[in-house]
Amino acid sequence: MTGVRPLPALGVGSVIVMLAALPVAGLPAFYESFLYLMFYWIALATSWAILSGFAGYFSFGHAAFFGAGMYATAHLTVKMEVPFLAALPVAAGVAALLAAGIGAVVFRLRRLRGELFALLTLAVTFIVATIILNTPIDGGAGVLTSSVPLPRVISSSPSGTLYLLGLIVCVGSLAIAWWVSRSRLGMGLFAIHDDEDVAEVKGVPTFTYKLLAFTLSGAIAGVVGGVHATYVGFLTVSETFGITVPLYVVLMSVLGGARHWAGPAVGAVLIAASLYTFTSGDQATIGRGIVALVLIVAILLLPEGIVPTVLKQLRRRPVTRATPPDAPIATQAAPKRSDAPVLVVQDVRKSFGGVHALRGVSLEVRQGEILGLVGPNGSGKTTLINMITGHFPLDGGSIRIDGQEIGHQPAHAIAQRGIARTYQIPRPFAGLTVLDNVRLAAMFGGTGLSGAALDAEAHHWLAFTGLAGKAASLPAELNLHERKFLELARALVTRPRLLLLDEVLSGLNPAEIDSAIALIRAIRDQGASIVFVEHLMRAVVQLSDRVVVMNEGATLASGNPREVMRDPRVVAVYLGKAHVA
């Protein structure tokens, strides 16, 4: 949440003022119209990207919201003689409602693959189109909107007014996209884009956020449609709901870079400019072909889009980065170790398609202890962690943290109660920097921090895990050891009551293991209780206060590590009966 820097803000402001003044300067109508179309495409593509670019749910149904706004405006102004400006909010509302309705159903689907979402939205578009075509809203004859009186602002010509409206909508949608991309909502959407399951576990309310973004995206498209209704002068269903709008917004966004707030705008300018440069007859045909060719080349060579690629090039240059503020972290007084249980797991059962993964597991984790959870491969350790974090629903039993039942809560709610986990194979958000990965976890992990305090907290834990120098890197630039530590930093930044570590040591070399062990001790000293799943027994015995041994989905033994690991039953599980001496 960095503030707006004064100089660029001034630049942006003056460009907007200059653009707004153009009609007064007596710009020929042709250029007004040309620029209006730019604004129109920028706004439309930007609005599409708020869900589809940021969260990665590609919609082919943008024409439905755009068209709903268009026909709502036309219906209100032409048939009910509502003033144009009063009709626009209604247009936004209708489109938003449509998006929210679709989202509320579709986002509940268990496994919504990307292409299914794209096709569902496309199908909805055709249905909306058919309904409008066959009801008095259109009736097949089209709606004439050229006689709708437009408010006269600054310029006296209707084209000047449209130009200004287009500018306002364009600037407005860019501002919203900019704001979203920097907000909590945007962070959540980016995380959903990269790994929705992890996002949920880190505390992002994924369903709500997707729904919000879809609604916002639809509302903006509705307003754009409302303005465009008067620009075209005559509405037909086939033009409005055709394939042009959904495909062009996708192409523009992808060309410019759908994940960046400014990407769709850049793509829109490039594509729209080349489209409208060729306007007549044969030229138009060839022009479109050339645009398509350029597009193919651009997508093949810059799959991430223009804006992200350029930004990446810029970032490669050495930049003098401001050193992070000296972290004024309130060091928690480490709660003493005690026998009071933090987590109580009772008789938890889970099966997958007839296979009993957990057959009644009970264990408790006490305040401030490190509990080693061990057992052969497939004994149910990771499944148990997935149950505690709410990734899978319980088949039976109960899970309580601090006495409160969490067994049936959604994952993001459990995360906000102070349970954090790491993944055996690190699952960072690939599109977010190391710092943002940690900030996101803090933002949604129930810390209640924001602004500078949140940044400071994130920097503190990056330093704690030795990643301070990598804050601006993307996860792909880290090695396995660093990615594992990033997992830790993301978990620690939430100051969890209970930390679940899933094989943090596997794949590390001996020196890295020693540093990780030191780190885990330091974490415990900060006051967290730790459940430590690990196969590297040397480390388990060194670190754990107690161990619980699991076998075949049940607990086999528990207690002091050195005693438990000599228990004949445990030895038999690991080494076979022959070894029990």
Partner 1 sequence: MLLELRDLHVAYGDAPAVWDVSLDVDAGEIVSVIGPNGAGKTTLINAVAGLLRIRRGSARLDGVELGRLRPHQVCEQGIALVPEGRRLFTRMSVEENLEIGGYRPAARASRDASLARVYDLFPVLREKRLQDAGLLSGGQQQMVAIGRALMAKPRIMLFDEPSLGLAPAIVDDMFDIIASVRAEGVAVLLVEQNVGKALEVADRAYVLEQGRIVASGKPDALTKQPRIREVYLGV
Partner 2 sequence: MPSLTLLGQSLISGVMLGGLYALVALGLSLSWGLLRLVNLGHFALAFLGAYLVYHLGTVWHVDPWWAVLIIVPVFFVFGMLQHWVFVVFRVTELTSLLVTFGISVIVESILQWIWTADFRRYETHYAGVSLKVGPFYVPWLELVALIVAVGLAWASWAWLRWTYVGKALRATAEDADIAAAFGINHRLLSFLLSGVCAAYAAVAGAFIALVSTLAPSQIWAWLGVVFAVVIIGRLGNPVGALLAGILIGAAESLAMAVISPAWAPVVSFTILIVLLLWQPKWL
Q: How near is the Cβ of 509 to partner 1 at its closest, in Å?
A: 7
Cβ(394)–Cβ(346) below 8 Å: no
First to last CA, the chain: 62
Q: How far, in Å, CA of 65 to CA of 221, rounded? A: 6
- 225 vs 553, which CB is nearer to partner 1? 553
Q: Give CA separation, 146 vs 90, 150, 159, 379, 407, in Å.
A: 20, 10, 11, 71, 60
List the one residue out of 509, 502, 471, 508 whose CA is nearest residue 488.
Answer: 502
Q: Which residues face 349 on adjacent strands? A: 359, 396
**Does the protein bind partner 2 through residue 518 (CB under 8 A)?**
no
**Does the protein bind partner 2 through residue 17 (CB under 8 A)?**
no
Cβ(184)–Cβ(204) below 8 Å: no
Q: How near is the Cβ of 118 to partner 1 at its closest, in Å?
A: 23
Q: How far, in Å, CA of 390 to CA of 394, rounded? A: 8
Q: How near is the Cβ of 576 to partner 1 at its closest, in Å?
A: 1
List the one residue out of 425, 426, 408, 406 whose CA is nearest residue 416.
Answer: 406
**Does the protein bind partner 2 through residue 288 (CB under 8 A)?**
yes
∠ Cα 198 200 204 (to 5°) = 120
Can you give the C-alpha Rg of the chain in angstroms? 29
Structure tokens at 154: 């600054």
Structure tokens at 581: 């001496």
> Among residue numbers 60 through 119, which ones bind partner 2 (CB under 8 A)?
105-106, 109-111, 114-116, 119
Interface map 243-282 toward partner 2 (x if CB under 8 A): x---x--xx--x---------------------------x
Q: How near is the Cβ of 290 to partner 2 at its closest, in Å?
A: 8
Q: How far, in Å, CA of 515 to CA of 506, rounded? A: 13
**Does the protein bind partner 2 through residue 531 (CB under 8 A)?**
no
- 139 vs 568, which CB is nearer to partner 1? 568
Q: How far, in Å, CA of 63 to CA of 217, rounded? A: 12
- 109 vs 518, which CB is nearer to partner 2? 109
Q: How far, in Å, CA of 498 to CA of 524, rounded? A: 10
Interface positions with partner 1 (CB under 8 A): 354-355, 376-378, 425-426, 480, 483, 503, 505-510, 513, 535-542, 561-562, 565-566, 570-572, 574-579
Q: Indicate which single residue of 29, 86, 104, 127 sits in contact with partner 2 (rule: CB under 8 A).
A: 127
Q: Indicate which single residue of 39, 58, 66, 444 sits in contact with partner 2 (rule: CB under 8 A).
A: 58
Q: Indicate which single residue of 93, 142, 158, 242 sits in contact with partner 2 (rule: CB under 8 A).
A: 242
Cβ(455)–Cβ(214) below 8 Å: no
Cα dihedral 130, 135, 139, 144 sign = negative
**Does the protein bind partner 2 through residue 580 (CB under 8 A)?**
no
Which of partner 1, partner 2, none lies near 175, with the C-beta cut-off 5 to 8 A by kind? none
- 264 vs 372, which CB is nearer to partner 1? 372
Q: How near is the Cβ of 128 to partner 2 at its closest, in Å?
A: 10
List the one residue out of 146, 95, 93, 104 whose CA is nearest residue 125.
Answer: 95
Candidates 175-183, 285-293, 457-465, 539-547; binding stretch for partner 2 (CB under 8 A): 285-293
Q: How far, in Å, CA of 513 to CA of 529, rounded? A: 20
Q: How near is the Cβ of 275 to partner 1 at its closest, in Å?
A: 42
Q: How near is the Cβ of 106 to partner 2 at its closest, in Å?
A: 8
Q: How near is the Cβ of 503 to partner 1 at its closest, in Å?
A: 6
Which of partner 2, partner 1, none lies near 333, with the C-beta cut-off 5 to 8 A by kind? none
- 106 vs 374, which CB is nearer to partner 1? 374
Q: How far, in Å, CA of 155 to CA of 349, rounded? A: 71
List the one residue out of 70, 73, 98, 361 whose CA is nearest residue 225.
Answer: 70
Q: Give CA separation, 465 vs 426, 481, 503, 540, in Å.
A: 15, 11, 17, 20
- 354 vs 403, which CB is nearer to partner 1? 354
Structure tokens at 271: 């594509």
**Does the protein bind partner 2 through residue 214 (CB under 8 A)?**
no
- 35 vs 254, which CB is nearer to partner 2? 254
Residues that bind partner 2 (CB under 8 A): 58, 105-106, 109-111, 114-116, 119-120, 122-124, 126-127, 129-131, 133-134, 140, 242-243, 247, 250-251, 254, 282, 285-286, 288-289, 291-293, 295-296, 299-300, 303
